[in-house]
Structure 1
Amino acid sequence: MIGKNVIESEPIPGVKVKEVIEEFSEDNELNYEQNVTLNHLARFKRYSVEDAEEIIEKLQDEFDLRPKVAVHIVDLVPEDLDDLRLIFAKEPKQVDKEEMEKILELLEQYDIIE
């Protein structure tokens, strides 16, 4: 990749990546990496694209989370406090138990696609 620079980097949820790869595969043949990514993303439960984007926005606005952390929460679909603690383990901003419970309540309002 000589001569190429990253201009912008933004975390996006896996469900959005899956949607983009599926749209691309309608007109093009996928390479090995794209096939592996698509197969990996198809194995996990997730939210719809619209729900994922809405959850990320609420996590950033209501809980003041970084975009990367909000995307991790949406991608990993934590089911309990222990799962959330793992996500926040290396974060500089510590989230208390009450906020984590509110995050779990927020996630429960949305349907999961299996």
Structure 2
Amino acid sequence: MIVKEVVNEELLTLAEVKEMLTQIMEERREESDEEQVYEFRKALNHAEIFSKLSANDAKELVSKLLEFEKMRPAVAVRITDILPQSRDELRSIYAKEKFTIKDDELDAILDVVRQYA
């Protein structure tokens, strides 16, 4: 059995994934006229439907969210992908975390998110 190792791992927002998949599709289209693989088309379609920001805006929002004290990179990416509009939506993102977040912290996060929504 061949075991492969992870060479590099990076968290990406859905907007960044969409941008990467679009670039790959264009490169492949230039190289040959072959149709894209089903899984690739489904992944690109999903990213196009559900990404709400441009890749640059998504990166900017993630960096602003990471300035908060109780913000982990994975949570910042999740918030950027979902763009929650209420405290309840934001609490559901934090549901698996081992700490609770106060209402004023939730409001501050929502204020940042609303700048991009």
TM bracket, shorter-chain basis: 0.7 to 0.9
Q: Give the conservation status (yes or no) of the 8 Å contact 2:66–2:72.
A: yes
TM-score, normalised by the number of residues in structure 2: 0.85
Aligned length: 111
The aligned residue for residue 25 of structure 1 is: 25
The aligned residue for residue 31 of structure 2 is: none
What amino acid maps onto 1:2 in structure 2? I
The aligned residue for residue 60 of structure 2 is: 54
Q: What is the RMSD of the two structures over their aligned residues, measured on CA atoms?
A: 1.7
Q: Larger deviation: 78-87 or 42-51? A: 42-51
What amino acid maps onto 1:15 in structure 2? A
Structure 2: distance between partners of 1:40 and 1:107 = 22
Task: Tell me which stretches of 4 or more aligned residues in structure 1 moved more than 6 Å.
Answer: none
The aligned residue for residue 5 of structure 1 is: 5
Are 2:100 and 1:100 aligned? no
Bigger radius of gyration among the two? 2
Identity %: 38
